[in-house]
A and B are shown apart, each in its own frame.
Chain A
Amino acid sequence: MTTKLEDILKAGSLEEILGTALPYPKEIELKGKITKDVVKELSKIKNEPEWMLRHRLKSLELFEKLPMPRWIVGIEELDLENLVLYSKPEVGEVRGWDDLPESIRRIYERLSIPEIEKKFLSGLTAVFDSESVYSNLKREFEEKGIIMLPMEEAVRKYPDLVKKYFGKIFPAGEHKFSALHHALWSGGVFVYVPKNVKITFPIEAFFVIGSAMEGQFEHTLLVADENSYIHFIEGCSAPMYKGFSFHDGMVEIYAHKNAIVKFTTIQNWSRNVINFNNKRAIVEENAYVEWIEGSIGSKITYTYPSSVLKGEGARTTQYVVSLSNGPYLKDTGAKTFHLAPNTSSKIVSKSISANGGINIYRGLVRVIKGAKNSTSTVSCDSLILDEKSKAYTYPHNQSDEPSANLIHEATTGKLSQDKLFYLSSRGIREEEAKSLIVLGFISEILEGLPFEYVEVLKRVIELEFSEVGGVG
């Protein structure tokens, strides 16, 4: 018997795995103009406490006031007023995968999510459209006091804990899309790791947008108490459909003193998704936050994971890997704020542009006065595989602290005819040569991932450059 994981490894393309979108039953849909009434309705459906409704309404006001960011392109393709703003698939009470409707379960199964869960995760939350449809934390971890719940449930069950952090790390008023997110957020996961608890295996959240013209606004909040450890993995996928969908998700992380948080995203949306991410971590004294932001799919992606190094000795590493293979745009980067002495940051960006793809790196490293002896190294490597493709780098460093040390390096590599010829003279065809070179280019980042994910990622990249794959 072959396992699902093997199916994925053998499949010809992402489309072959996920296929085209199939109809599935929906219980509720909210669409049309984004008004107070829509927000109130949403809050009512979710049976939310008053404070959350107020938070949403305040965010809506901000959304209406804030200007459209000037650096946004591609949003014109997207008619915000015509999106389904909230979509609840028809799902009863779910205790296990078998309780999900066949059409929805199949999507997760084809991506081998249940199998991965069984084998190497501590817990998993699956979000479909606007709702968490499955959430399970293995018992041994529950017993240690770890909380992992769909965000809505956490709002109801742990209001004080949630209130303390929700929207405090990435406030609504930051820009138009963070305001929109806070007004309409739905789905996502809340994780709390108690003091001194170390979760050995990763926790994963997997997001699927099931149909076109939908907005997904999931909210993930992760609180790591003092001296704890967690590795959180986020995966995103969507089948192909006509028309666009919009993703405007948010991740807030709070790493308390001495905590270690690793947050890995492997985004492989279909090329119908316009993907907007809001990700920020606050890092306390001697804590460490590591972002791995891997963007493979989507039509357009905007994502800049940020770390606020708030406590003395706080550290962060931000790995940003972006692949634009085909007429797609990735506008990615990382932001770090050094607010205390002896903080350190490392940003490694690797972008790959092929077949007309465009990558833009935007980075910010800000060191305030008094953040003595802080250090930051930024390296941006761009790999351009052909003449049609492009990469741009816009790093920005700003330091008001004379004792801080900031280093920036950037390289651009082109895949020349001579390199391709060298490999082909060794029997390695062009497609294989490209995936070999791309995998080599990002090997430093792959080394930090669990083996199983590396295998799947390698296969995804091989598919991107094979003749059959490469969603074009």
Chain B
Amino acid sequence: MSLPDRPRPDLDRDSTPWWEAVRRHELLLQRCDGCGTLRFPPRAVCGRCRSREAGWVPALGTGRVASWTVSHQVFMRAFADEVPYAVLHVRLDDGDGVFMYGNLAGTNPAEIEPDMPVEAVFADVDHELALVQWRPR
């Protein structure tokens, strides 16, 4: 593994609390105070009711595989030792239209199936950064 060599996320003022939670191994979503819609990625305003009031709530931490890819080509040198590796597009169980990406954990890419149930696990890169991964459950 070469986690520390990977591209680091370019945090912005909307996303910093989310990444700080991931570092604590917590998976959060925003919930609109106006209409209750859950949203990710973090934004300052609700796209449904336009409310600017929102809070952070824990995500269930589970979802299903909506789509995935297995990269064989080395697009980034940090991943040279990891090909072939999978990236999952996960539909969270929390509600419609909430998706996250992440690597596969706990099995190999050949085992992935559409709608496969997965749960979030956390991989520490260093003291400042952790990443979300998804393993079958």
Q: Do A and B bind each other?
A: no
